[in-house]
Copies of this chain bind each other. A is one copy, B any other.
Amino acid sequence: MRSSNSSVSKGHRGRPGYSREDIIRAAVREFTNHGYEATSMGRVAKNLGITKSALYHHVNSKEEILELSVKKALDALETVVERAVADESPARDRLRLLVRRSVKVLCDDPASVALLLRLRGNSEAELEAVARRRQLTRQTVAIIAQAQYEKSIRHDFNQVLLGRMVYGLVNSVADWYRVDGRFSPDEVAEAVEAMLFEGMSV
């Protein structure tokens, strides 16, 4: 987690050695492991080996960490979906790219996406994030409906149900993917895309 040049490049508010982004990542990992509600800022500081007041040099509150982290995940996912919406290729191709790129966003920062997926709308900021998340689903369901209309994907299931399953499988990666684990982002993205489009059967 230590980034060697972070205190020079962006950690001007904090202790040398940890950038603001390092702090946020570490906190989000704690939220993932023990739950957002159950994680105190004291615990985050302790895990980083810094004092609570050093932690507050970097961030203003636990809520701020949640918001920044979720915003980052949403920004990245929205970029993916907007590209798929704007593209002019057949809907099925756009959907395949959307799936592949979304999985890569997820593998890059699974903890932030996991946090996003668990939001329940308990605050103004959470409600806004939930609304943005729903918009992603709506846009994706529209591409699915278009692909069904183009007869390039099965139409024996309702587009909303297909959308649930597409995001069900894509998002599930956030629950188990380890950035330093045995599977590369490309490998997982390829596998999820293959499962959703071709399935397991030979």
Contacts and interface: CB of A to CB of B under 8 A. Distances in A.
Interface of A: 33-35, 37-38, 92, 117, 120, 122, 151-154, 156-158, 161-162, 164-165, 167-169, 171-173, 175-176, 183, 187-188, 191-192, 194-202
**Integer count of this chain's copies in the complex:** 2
B188 A153 contact: no
Contacts of A171: 172
15 contacts: A34-B122, A35-B120, A37-B38, A154-B198, A154-B201, A154-B202, A158-B183, A161-B188, A164-B172, A165-B192, A165-B195, A169-B172, A194-B199, A196-B200, A197-B200
Nearest to A153: B200
Q: Give the 4 A-B CB pairs with smallest separation, nearest first.
A: A168-B172, A199-B199, A153-B200, A198-B199
Given A191-B157, A200-B162, A35 B33 contact: no
